[in-house]
A and B are shown apart, each in its own frame.
Chain A
Amino acid sequence: EIVLTQSPGTLSLSPGERATLSCRASQSVSRNYLAWHQQKHGQAPRLLIYGASNKATGIPDRFSGSGSGTDFTLTISRLEPEDFAVYYCQQYGTSPYTFGQGTKLEIK
């Protein structure tokens, strides 16, 4: 199965700063079927990005995704207080679908 490795494990930033989260796959992700999900404590996770770079419905413009093949990036251009959460990448190009271990974005 495809192993997704996210870095860093924890990212400490201040509101207003730019966040860059990385996801590396152990083999090429078919059709660039790479998604990013946000998980906040006590809430259902939600889909942010699909197909590596497409924003899901209702996701603010400050979120963007990029990359192809084995290297993908989630960028949050200017952090808002509500963006501090855990972010997971997920590939859905090859069964079994797999997730990264997560990046915790915390307030500095």
Chain B
Amino acid sequence: QLQLQESGPGLVKPSETLSLTCTVSGGSISISAYWWGWTRQSPEKGLEWIGIIRYNGDTYYKASLESRVTISVDTSRNQFSLKLNSVTAADTAVYYCARFKQVAASSLLDYWGLGTLVTVSS
């Protein structure tokens, strides 16, 4: 059974970089039919799609976050990662990693991780 597990610091200081890793088990991250990505949830903004990556490094990001976001993939470890720099309190959220299935002209979020809370505070 597919499992996605987020890991990383739960507390990040303002202006620093938020770094999270998602470890995928029960399936390979290198299958071309799937993308892997991040979504976050906060009381203020609700659910917000951040971006996706495929095993070959192709990426798509939400335009409003693109200047601060990097998603990378490590196929040897079956992991992918999120970096969000210059964080503020507005970046406090539960961050979910997820699998996205390639469909015609898009990708469908079909499997979620459990999520991890990241708080931005000094």
In the bound complex, residues from chain B placing their C-beta under 8 Å from that of A88 are: 47
For the complex, count residues of B whose C-beta is within 8 A of A.
Answer: 23
Known: A43-B114, A47-B111. A93 touches B47 (CB 8 A): no
Chain B CB within 8 A of A96 CB: yes
Within 1-51 of A, Cβ neighbours of B (below 8 Å) are at 30-31, 33, 35, 37, 43-47, 50
Chain B residues in 8 Å Cβ range of A84: none
Which of these, A31, A45, A99, contacts B46 with CB under 8 Å? A99
Beta-carbon contact of B108 and A92 below 8 Å: yes
Main secondary structure of the interface of A (DSSP, over half): loop
Q: Are A50 and B110 in contact, CB atoms less than 8 angstroms apart?
A: yes
Given A93-B106, A95-B63, A96-B49; 13 other pairs, CB 8 A cutoff: A31-B104, A31-B105, A33-B103, A35-B108, A45-B112, A46-B112, A47-B111, A50-B108, A92-B103, A92-B108, A96-B63, A99-B48, A102-B46
Interface residues of B (CB under 8 A from A): 4, 46-49, 60, 62-64, 96, 103-115
23 contacts between A and B (CB under 8 A): A31-B105, A33-B103, A35-B108, A35-B109, A37-B112, A44-B4, A44-B96, A44-B112, A44-B115, A45-B96, A45-B112, A47-B109, A47-B111, A47-B112, A50-B110, A90-B109, A92-B103, A92-B108, A92-B109, A95-B60, A95-B63, A96-B49, A98-B49
